[in-house]
Copies of this chain bind each other. A is one copy, B any other.
Amino acid sequence: MSKRFAGPEIERLIQLLAKVPGLGPRSARRAALHLIKKKEQLLGPLTVAMGDALDKVRICSTCGNVDTTDPCTICTDPRRDDTTIIVVEDVSDLWALERTGAMNARYHVLGGTLSPLDGVGPDDLNIRSLVDRVAKGGVSELILAVNATVEGQTTAHYITDQLDGLGVKVTRLAHGVPVGGELDYLDEGTLSAALKARTAF
């Protein structure tokens, strides 16, 4: 804004909102105005919720998840299967898997993938703590739910190597046709994988 036409507080709010993923400079202005107009219904409660998150959210020292307790809700849930750990790159992947409701296991959040070019080595990820968890015993299966990218697969291989001799079964997510997906739009790699892993109808 070249010319000042509103108090600095409003400009600062817009600037900060523009840094939220999903909002750009234009939508940040719209969001700021909407928040200001809905002071009681939205701006107030959201400010409180953000203050709460600021005070209470921490990283789980066991699995690397974010939560308001440490250990987190998942690590302390007595109904979860202790024998299975799902390894994910990021908390967002954990959330995505939890939304499926398909598993009732424990998790381990790596915090990224190995990427020598970006200077991310094994010590920058929560790999040591994962090996320690497995070494303690009681874990029979480790599901590597990393992204199907080069970095994800490299990280998966590295982790598998580290677990050598601990007697844990290491599995990975199946490759195949996305549910609802059209073959025509899929890449050759996915189609080949889906063909190779074909199942009885």
A interface list, Cβ under 8 A from B: 1-10, 12-13, 16-17, 19-23, 27-37, 39, 42-47, 49-54, 56-57, 65-69, 72-74, 91-92, 94-95, 98-99, 101
Contacts and interface: CB of A to CB of B under 8 A. Distances in A.
In the A-B complex, list the 6 residue pairs whose CB atoms are closest, starting with the nearest.
A7-B68, A22-B27, A47-B50, A16-B46, A5-B98, A13-B49
Contacts of A54: 39, 43-44, 47
Contacts of A2: 101
Contact of A20 (B4, B35, B66): B35
B19 A22 contact: no
B68 A36 contact: no
Given A52-B9, A54-B44, A101 B3 contact: yes
Contact of A29 (B53, B57, B95): B95
In the complex, which of the residues A16, A35, A39 has the most CB atoms of chain B within 10 Å of its own CB atom? A16
Given A2-B101, A5-B73, A29-B95, 6 more contacts: A3-B101, A6-B67, A23-B23, A30-B92, A32-B53, A36-B57
A32 B91 CA distance: 11
